[in-house]
Structure 1
């Protein structure tokens, strides 16, 4: 039974879920029946909590108390079966009177104090022997004196200045390091599987890495917004690491090694990185994203990634070649944007079942890929290719559903599209030199068309009667 009305005379024994809108009101014990079956309780913005709650919340499992009241005058507010306590967005400080009673919840496993005013974790927290997850992201937490040894997930805010000795039980750690006065000891986190280590200061880089390479169970590593300049070769030792995120790392200049069993590799915002290590040994890699690698000129070993399913290359302005695409037999998604210096893009022998392809900013005018092997290709986006004047092979992409060739001002003609029976969306806006669109009337599945800005069209194409959208709006 669910109840959401505050003015009830009493929450009866049958109510199990209660959303209590107590804005500006007093939350009294009288509203709750003794020995009720209430399991989920959400209290919104009560001004004050008063009364003796003995035997009234015996079965409560989840307490969502967002914007909790500063004034807590209740007694016997004992919720021993409570598992999840959500205080996110609350105004309560660390000396809040409710802590001493709420921490009697001996079965509590999850504590959410994100986006609160709490500056220091109350000492009572260490008494929660079954507590597994503390989420303090977005809060004003600056210090932690101690933690329960049962903790396995800890998420901390950007303002944290000091950390205690972290328990070896930790499996997930999300922490901003830029305000820390001392480098944390990570080497003892022998069970850590996920580490999101943001904003590593320059003076901590070497110590942090010397600890990280000892974390043999680590599976996901995130260095977002950090000042690391070199990824050391010792990182190869992380044989269990599946995902490595280096975006954005604007000061990263050199990558000396990569863990051999990576499944996902994400590198972005690295303005000074000129060379990637040879990727040939990453036999399990299925997702590779390169974004904002301004000085990167080539990608070595790409053709050996037989399990690669997703390849995304964005804003790599100086990239001059991409070799080995034809060997990526598992490739399902290929996106490339604003790679102005590419002189070769060879898809001629690609045997991969591409499901999505995007080539944006490509300047080589002689690109003539044979897409005969791309019989599962469903999406192509070729955007802002200033010098691209011809695309061949589109007519054999029988599975193509989405085609976007916008802002290719040098393209004069397109191949006949009449065989693209699955094509649903066609966008050609800003193709200033395009003179003719052949086969448009035969597109039986076409629902969206955009040809705005095609000022050189010599005749208006015949439109299929299936068309729903046209002009400058194209549904995705």
Structure 2
């Protein structure tokens, strides 16, 4: 066993302690004891001088490490995620080859002063260490190799100005740090920065951060504007603004030629957006209750995803028809939006959701959207017509539940899943007879239906749900459905003499 290099005891719940003899495995390089039940490690573990990787993830009974861990001079990665460890022994300062420290989800209260002596340390992940408080110490600047610092959802409240001296720092995550009040000047090496700062009244200086590719600001409730200097972040690819008190974004954002993804979320005072950069791939405007005006989107020739959710004042989507490479469109809870002119031109669309848009009565002719496999048009209370669906040979799923004004089933071709539940005015289902590909039909709560057409052609139908169809009198052809496995006819008081075919689960 002295030549053993890898020992894995992952998931050994009955492993409550390691024997002292573990120290004799002097050739061990990789020791994985994730999710074991041990409460402590033996001092002899310090004899594993060749060990490079020690993982104790999810060892929920582990509360401390022995001082002898500092003897493991070859250790490059230490994983203490989701343990009960509250402090690290000062001897960790002797782990001169340590590159990665994962202690996320633990009970860590503070970093030992000796940690900042580790010149080779590249990654520190203390995410969700809810007992970690106060300021990170000035000695942080000694970590000259540090590339990633993750302190999200901790109680850290400030950072020293010395953080600007971390010349190799690429990623800084301070999301969910509710006590954070200010940010000092940050190193220009940063590529990714995520920040939550409830008390921050102004943005930190962005002018030096010319290497930033991802910038996320959330729950900075006192911030009322994004500084124009954001337009100087020419390498920025992703920008997320969430829960800020801004009314718009600066016009300079249009100069961000590398920006691929823009998300504006929960900014309840935002009213409009400026002209957006032409290279944008994804645009998300969600939960912006005062939002009224989109810019003309016709310049966004590369846009592949557009999401507009809970924009209660939005009335139009200008330039929609010019988004020729749009693959995913979601419009949810935009009650003032009455039309979607241009939708009929989006031939590359593969995902379409139009939901809770009360003012929409008719969708454009969708006959050219031949790549569309699924259409969600639910909860549109005034929607009465969706033309062109019969031309969509690839359309397999149609969701139109709670479209309470829909009276007639649209013409369809190869649909397999059809959800029309609670379409209270739906009564004309004459097109249903020809849907030989149909596998699931949900008509629950469609109270205007008195008779279904003859279903005998629907030989692939496996599930039929008509519960709550209070006026339904009969289901012709039911006995001929050889593939049927589930039938729900509960709360259909006028249905009489419905058979219970073998292999069919009937709910009455």
Query: Could you state the TM-score of these two structures normalised by the residue count of structure 2?
Result: 0.84
1:248 to 1:74, Cα distance in 2 relative to 1, 3 A: closer
Work out whether residues 79 and 104 of structure 1, in 8 Å CA contact, stay in contact via their aligned partners in 2. Answer: no
1:223 to 1:407, Cα distance in 2 relative to 1, 3 A: same
1:110 equivalent in structure 2: 123
Secondary structure of the structure 2 residue equivalent to 1:303: helix
Secondary structure of the structure 1 residue equivalent to 2:391: coil
1:307 equivalent in structure 2: 325
1:334 equivalent in structure 2: 352
Deviates more, 1:158-167 or 1:311-320: 158-167
1:2 equivalent in structure 2: 8
2:49 equivalent in structure 1: 35
Deviation per CA, 1:175-212: give whole Å up to 9, x if none.
Answer: 0133125531012110101111113445551xx33121
Deviation per CA, 1:63-104: give whole Å up to 9, x if none.
Answer: 22544534555646633333321122333333x5x440x444
Deviates more, 1:122-131 or 1:238-247: 122-131
Report how far residue 262 of structure 1 moved: 1.1
> Higher helix share goes to which structure?
2
Deviates more, 1:140-149 or 1:448-457: 448-457
1:31 to 1:440, Cα distance in 2 relative to 1, 3 A: farther
2:482 equivalent in structure 1: 465
- Asked if 1:158 is matched to 2:158, the reply is no
Work out whether residues 68 and 87 of structure 1, in 8 Å CA contact, stay in contact via their aligned partners in 2. Answer: no
Secondary structure of the structure 2 residue equivalent to 1:416: helix
Report how far residue 249 of structure 1 moved: 1.6
- CA distance in 1 between counterparts of 2:278 and 2:238 reads 13
- Asked if 1:443 is matched to 2:443, the reply is no
1:109 to 1:409, Cα distance in 2 relative to 1, 3 A: same
1:49 equivalent in structure 2: 65
Work out whether residues 221 and 243 of structure 2, in 8 Å CA contact, stay in contact via their aligned partners in 1. Answer: no
1:297 equivalent in structure 2: 315
Secondary structure of the structure 2 residue equivalent to 1:411: coil
Deviation per CA, 1:424-468: give whole Å up to 9, x if none.
Answer: 332221111122333534334333332211122220351633233
1:454 equivalent in structure 2: 469
Deviation per CA, 1:127-180: give whole Å up to 9, x if none.
Answer: 222211111111001011032221111110232112121111111110013312
- CA distance in 1 between counterparts of 2:378 and 2:234 reads 40
Work out whether residues 433 and 455 of structure 2, in 8 Å CA contact, stay in contact via their aligned partners in 1. Answer: yes
Secondary structure of the structure 1 residue equivalent to 2:180: coil
- Asked if 1:382 is matched to 2:400, the reply is yes
Secondary structure of the structure 2 residue equivalent to 1:40: strand
- Asked if 1:267 is matched to 2:285, the reply is yes
Report how far residue 312 of structure 1 moved: 0.9
Work out whether residues 226 and 248 of structure 1, in 8 Å CA contact, stay in contact via their aligned partners in 2. Answer: yes
Work out whether residues 356 and 381 of structure 2, in 8 Å CA contact, stay in contact via their aligned partners in 1. Answer: no
Work out whether residues 232 and 257 of structure 1, in 8 Å CA contact, stay in contact via their aligned partners in 2. Answer: no
Deviates more, 1:22-31 or 1:422-431: 22-31
- CA distance in 2 between counterparts of 1:7 and 1:306 reads 62
- Asked if 1:322 is matched to 2:337, the reply is no
1:247 to 1:444, Cα distance in 2 relative to 1, 3 A: farther
1:60 to 1:374, Cα distance in 2 relative to 1, 3 A: same
Deviates more, 1:118-127 or 1:128-137: 118-127
2:204 equivalent in structure 1: 184
Secondary structure of the structure 1 residue equivalent to 2:306: strand
1:287 equivalent in structure 2: 305
Work out whether residues 143 and 162 of structure 1, in 8 Å CA contact, stay in contact via their aligned partners in 2. Answer: yes
- CA distance in 1 between counterparts of 2:380 and 2:63 reads 61
1:18 to 1:210, Cα distance in 2 relative to 1, 3 A: same
2:497 equivalent in structure 1: none
- Asked if 1:256 is matched to 2:271, the reply is no
- CA distance in 1 between counterparts of 2:256 and 2:145 reads 30
Report how far residue 34 of structure 1 moved: 3.2
1:128 to 143, 150, 153: 143
- CA distance in 2 between counterparts of 1:159 and 1:144 reads 12
Work out whether residues 158 and 175 of structure 1, in 8 Å CA contact, stay in contact via their aligned partners in 2. Answer: no
Root-mean-square deviation over aligned CA pairs: 2.7
Deviates more, 1:173-182 or 1:380-389: 173-182
- CA distance in 2 between counterparts of 1:72 and 1:199 reads 32
- CA distance in 1 between counterparts of 2:77 and 2:377 reads 52
Unaligned runs of 5+ in 1: none
1:200 to 1:352, Cα distance in 2 relative to 1, 3 A: farther
Secondary structure of the structure 2 residue equivalent to 1:155: strand
1:172 equivalent in structure 2: 192
Work out whether residues 18 and 38 of structure 2, in 8 Å CA contact, stay in contact via their aligned partners in 1. Answer: no
Secondary structure of the structure 1 residue equivalent to 2:141: helix
Unaligned runs of 5+ in 2: 1-6, 491-504
Work out whether residues 413 and 435 of structure 1, in 8 Å CA contact, stay in contact via their aligned partners in 2. Answer: no
Deviation per CA, 1:101-121: give whole Å up to 9, x if none.
Answer: x44443322211122222221
Matches within 5 A, 1:56-135: 56-67=72-83, 69-70=85-86, 72-73=88-89, 75=91, 78-94=94-110, 96=111, 98-100=112-114, 102-116=115-129, 117-118=131-132, 119-135=134-150
Secondary structure of the structure 1 residue equivalent to 2:376: strand
Secondary structure of the structure 2 residue equivalent to 1:261: coil
Deviation per CA, 1:194-241: give whole Å up to 9, x if none.
Answer: 111113445551xx3312111111111111112111233322111111
1:179 to 1:469, Cα distance in 2 relative to 1, 3 A: farther
- CA distance in 1 between counterparts of 2:137 and 2:377 reads 54
Matches within 5 A, 1:208-287: 208-287=226-305
Report how far residue 296 of structure 1 moved: 1.4
- CA distance in 1 between counterparts of 2:431 and 2:453 reads 5
